[in-house]
Amino acid sequence: MQKKFVLNYVIIGVLLVWAAWQLLPTLRYETMSEERKEELRMQGDLEPIQNRIIRRGLDLQGGMHLVLEVNVSKLTQNIAQNKSQSYYQFMNQVEEIFTAQTDRDYFDILEEMANAQNFRLARHFPGRGDENSQIIASLRKEAADAVLRAEEIIRNRVDQFGVSEPTIQRQGDRRIIVELAGVTDPERATNLIQSTAQLEFILLKDPEVVQDAISRIDAVMKKVEPETLTDSTTVEDRVSQNKEVSVEELFGLTENQTDTKGDSTALVDEKIFKDRPFSALLRNLGNDIGVPAENYYAVNRVLQNPEVQRVLPADIRILWSNAPETFTTQDGTQKKFYRLYFVNRDPGLTGAVVTDAQATLGGMNGSNMGQPIVNVSMNSEGAKTWSRMTGANVGKRIAIVLDDKVQIAPVIRDRISGGRTVIEGLANIEEAKDIEICLKAGALPAPVDIIEKRTIGPSLGADSIRKGTMSALIGLLLVVLFMVIYYRGSGIVAFVTLVLNIIFVLSILALLRATLTLPGIAGLVLTVGMAVDANVLIFERIREELRKGKTVKASVDNGYSRAIITILDANLTTLIAALVLWQFGTGPIRGFAVVLFWGIVFNFISGYFISKTILTTVTHGRTLKKLSI
Amino acid sequence: MFQIFVNTHYNIVGKRVYAYWISGLLILAGLLSFIFQGLNYGIDFRGGTLIQMKFEEPITAGEIRSLLKNPELGTPQIQRSGPNEYMIRVLSIGTGDEIQEIIQKDLQEKKFEVRRAEIVGPKIGEELRRKAIGAIFAALFLILVYISIRFEMKFAIGAVLALFHDVLITLGLFSLFQWEISMPVLAAFLTIVGYSLNDTIVVYDRIRENRLTHKNKAFPDVINLSINESLSRTVITSLTTFLVVLILVLFGGEVLFGFSIAMLIGIIVGTYSSSFVASPLLIIWDKKVRQKEMKKK
């Protein structure tokens, strides 16, 4: 061996040691038994290993990928004050444009509309300046803060949910990406993350006001109904016969498709249907308005009807109870009912004042004995408001509302001081626990919408690993077979460099704590293809030189020095494509780009540098007459 | 020595008109299909819901279709993805998990496991499409700049035209067969851009070299010589990469199918275009050749 190669071998040696050091934890971890893992976990020794292994992407181990967007429109409306009829009219217009033109910024629309209609935002957003532009700027800042806060709150919730290695990051200025690996109950996780945990204490409207509102809706529906019905007599017949008619037939509300689920028939009270079509959907439930579960969607549709919304007083908000309750009706059958509440538009008190929450089962003696409840404590400011509010409205009813659903609406018997209250009406202790987590982590400053959600079951992940690994191995085997048949001894050198290339790429993945995704495995397979190319280019060049009658030594030297230019140009262009992908892609695609990028980088090292060192050593040491190529 | 394509002297440049015809026809077919059928955008780019479910008992796509009767689902696309396994795609996303719930409710009499559920809002889909087009053009532009620096402008234009050619033909085939365009397929397109370029550059590199060593030869002859000299490398490399990707098509599973098939087509088209399209295209910019051909006429 000549002296000039010593340095080369030292470099190669260092690289190999580095690769072994990087990959060892992964090898250890993957071959470890579950019991051993558990054992190490108890000793606290598992985490250092886990921190150094190549992580699997969600598509390989199963899990959930969520993209959430903070609803700035709702945020703005939560901030607004002095809400008047004209305010609601204006905001509804803005909302309409915002939903229609998806690519526009909410605040741009708000500002444009306010300026166009000479609408003074300062009236509804006091303390932020006089000019519309000042207010918009301040709202923008508030929205940006809200996204930051939402990210923090979601992180807290997820941490308490107990998923290993959750990823939570912001994307752009409105979005939050949440990745939960190996989550077993995606539905519960989604609810926990998405629930705003907006706790509100709202006074119920007086019965006279409610009666008036229902009459107004009846009047509207009576007008709508006969016109849109093509065959009203048959419907009325069927109403009196079997009491089941489709909602479309009832109200002709097909244009409003926002709430369609399986149940599209409704149960109506035939006696009053003709005069009061809306009331016909409702029942008396003690002091409350009950809605048979079958009528839930029908009632919702009526309430969402723009005509109906127009005639309702602006300061009324209509809320559902959180879950249906079962009652026995007069004829002895069991029926499920929701309750419908008419409450003030503005809450008297919100969850912002909550300092602590505790899920528990209701104690002895109480009406909620053995039922899951959440005890809520408030700060001094909240306690003051709560005491004043309850004191001034003794005898009236107050709704405790969580995320727009009424949990319970008790009558205020006395002033409540000390800032404590109880949330009841929960299905089970898990729900109580989730509410506790949410209330403690804080309410989201604004509702978040799920705009992308990908859930991959663990079995599909395992399938993908198997298929991906198998393809990679078969691919490698075929290529190696071909190279050895075609290039003989040099083919073996190519094989060594190919394997090294893959080892190096995996090492860098471990070092960077990057995740290996299914497209990432595809990237590895492709890297094999690209790495072969470097070898082919070199070997073909050497053969060409040999054919020209040059010595083995000269041919090898020339081959490498000529081929490197080609390899450089060809690989750098692919590198550009990989970089663009890296920048553009999310999740799995980025996984592919990362692997491709490093595959090319290491191609220079193993496909050129190492291969050259080996072949040159072989040919320079002695005077070879023939090269196995 | 076991070798193929050594010392070949195919007159590839002389026959470039045929290549132009073949490419032209392929692109035309793709464009026509594009106009009349368009592209089959997956939910990644269009928004919608995808649910992949594995049933415990044998079931046909027709049975599933007849069970999915909720009007909210529209006409769901049902595609087999394995033994007793189907992917159901619905355009609508409803709110939250609504669509998934409806599908599971409609199919409740069958036993199944949800292996994958994807919900992509239309807003995101639209955004991704915009970004994707941006990414492809950014890649093309950067490559144009790089080749202009390393070679000459005309090489850069030739290479980028060849790339357009490759992507157009591949896209055309995707439109023709109505294969779904998903995120991984897009990644494949970008890789094709890189890969096909790789091939082209190898030949260009030869041309650059041969232009210096064969100064007395006419430019078309230099190009022809260079294509012939790199032929064995082009074929071997393409063959090995082809093999590797073919394995992905065969064994990579449903998730990778779109990606693999796009790569496979891209490799074939890319190999063809580097020898038969990209290099001959250089001649168009060679004034001397043009003048000579003018005189002949």
Give the minimum alpha-carbon distance from B266 to chain A in angstroms, rounded to a whole number: 13
Residue B273 domain-assigned? yes
Residue B5 domain-assigned? no
Q: Which one of B105, B147, B191 has the shortest CB-CB distance to A577?
A: B191
| CA closest to A465 among chain B residues | B252
Give the model's confidence band at B32: pLDDT under 50 very low, under 70 low, under 90 confident, else very high.
very high
Which of B61, B96, B120 is where one domain is finished? B120
Q: B97 and A190: CB-CB below 8 Å?
A: yes
pLDDT at A228 over 50: no
Evaluate whether B267 touches B238 at the Cβ level (below 8 Å).
yes
Listed by number, the residues of chain A in 111-150 with a beta carbon closer than 8 Å to a beta carbon of chain B are: none
Evaluate whether A593 touches A581 at the Cβ level (below 8 Å).
yes
Q: A103 and B126: CB-CB below 8 Å?
A: yes
Evaluate whether A164 touches A181 at the Cβ level (below 8 Å).
yes
* Winning range, highest mean pLDDT, from A18-32, A302-316, A405-419, B176-190: A18-32
Contacts of A471 (CB under 8 A, 6+ apart): A521, A525, B247, B248, B250, B251, B252, B256
**Nearest 5°: phi and psi at A58?**
-60, -35
CB distance from B194 to chain A under 8 Å? yes
First to last CA, chain A: 21
Q: In this structure, are B178 and B218 located in the same domain? A: yes
Q: CATH number of the domain at A63-194+447-456, please?
A: 3.30.70.3400
Rama region for A413: left / alpha / beta (φ>0; ψ in -120 to 50; rest): alpha
Q: In this structure, are B211 and B87 located in the same domain? A: no
Q: ∠A127-A128-A132 over CA atoms, to 5°?
A: 130
Evaluate whether B274 touches B196 at the Cβ level (below 8 Å).
yes
pLDDT confidence of residue A255: 33
Q: CATH number of the domain at A3-59+460-621, please?
A: 1.20.1640.10
pLDDT confidence of residue B30: 92
pLDDT confidence of residue B164: 87
Give the model's confidence band at A257: pLDDT under 50 very low, under 70 low, under 90 confident, else very high.
very low
Over the stretch B47-80, which tens digit does the pLDDT of each residue have?
888 889 989 888 888 888 888 877 777 788 888 8
Q: In this structure, are B159 and B68 located in the same domain? A: no
Q: B194 and A474: CB-CB below 8 Å?
A: no
> Fold identical between A3-59+460-621 and A63-194+447-456?
no
> Is the whole-model pTM more than 0.80?
no
Over the stretch A366-422, which tens digit does the pLDDT of each residue have?
677 778 888 888 888 889 988 998 889 988 888 888 888 888 888 888 888 888 888
Lowest mean pLDDT among A19-23, A326-330, A487-491: A326-330
Nearest to A64 by CA among A190, A196, A169: A190
Evaluate whether A411 touches A476 at the Cβ level (below 8 Å).
no
Structure tokens at A278: 């809306």
pLDDT at B24 over 70: yes
Q: Determine the 3-state secondary structure of A284 from DSSP.
A: strand
CB distance from A522 to chain B under 8 Å? yes
Which of A487, A518, A566 has the highest number of chain B CBs within 10 A, making it the mutation to test binding with B? A566
Q: What is the average pLDDT across A294-305? A: 81
Q: What is the average pLDDT across A47-63? A: 84
Listed by number, the residues of chain B in 115-144 with a beta carbon closer than 8 Å to a beta carbon of chain A are: 115-124, 126-127, 131-132, 134-135, 138-139, 142-143
Distances, alpha carbon A35 to alpha carbons A29, A38, A44, A46, A584, in Å: 12, 5, 14, 12, 41
Q: In this structure, are B159 and B289 located in the same domain? A: yes
Domain boundaries of chain A, sorted by first residue:
3-59+460-621, 63-194+447-456, 207-315
Which of B133, B196, B206, B248 has the highest number of chain A CBs within 10 A, making it the mutation to test binding with A? B248
Structure tokens at B148: 């202009």
Q: What is the CATH number of the domain that holds B143?
A: 1.20.1640.10
Listed by number, the residues of chain A in 537-556 with a beta carbon closer than 8 Å to a beta carbon of chain B are: 537, 540, 543-544, 547
Domain that holds residue B115: 48-120
pLDDT confidence of residue A252: 41
Number of domains in chain B: 2
Q: What is the average pLDDT across A14-32? A: 91
Alpha-carbon Rg for chain B in angstroms = 24
pLDDT at A20 over 90: yes
Pairing, β B48-55 against β B85-90: antiparallel
CB distance from A596 to chain B under 8 Å? yes
Structure tokens at A539: 């070997």
Q: In this structure, are B129 and B108 located in the same domain? A: no
pLDDT at A128 over 70: yes
Give the model's confidence band at A266: pLDDT under 50 very low, under 70 low, under 90 confident, else very high.
low
Q: In this structure, are B115 and B162 located in the same domain? A: no
- Assembly ipTM: 0.83
Over the stretch B202-242, which tens digit does the pLDDT of each residue have?
888 889 889 899 888 888 889 899 999 888 888 888 888 88
Give the minimum alpha-carbon distance from B74 to chain A in angstroms, rounded to a whole number: 13
Report how far residue B231's alpha carbon sits from residue B203's, in angstroms, rounded to the nearest whole number: 9
Q: A573 and B119: CB-CB below 8 Å?
A: no
Q: ∠B241-B247-B251 over CA atoms, to 5°?
A: 155
Give the model's confidence band at B15: pLDDT under 50 very low, under 70 low, under 90 confident, else very high.
confident
**Residues linked to residue A367 through DSSP beta bridges, in sequence order:** none
Over the stretch A67-109, which tens digit does the pLDDT of each residue have?
999 988 888 887 888 877 788 888 888 888 887 777 788 999 9
Look-up of token digits 């918009």: A136
Q: Determine the 3-state secondary structure of A64 from DSSP.
A: strand
Q: What is the average pLDDT across A342-353? A: 85
Q: In this structure, are B61 and B193 located in the same domain? A: no
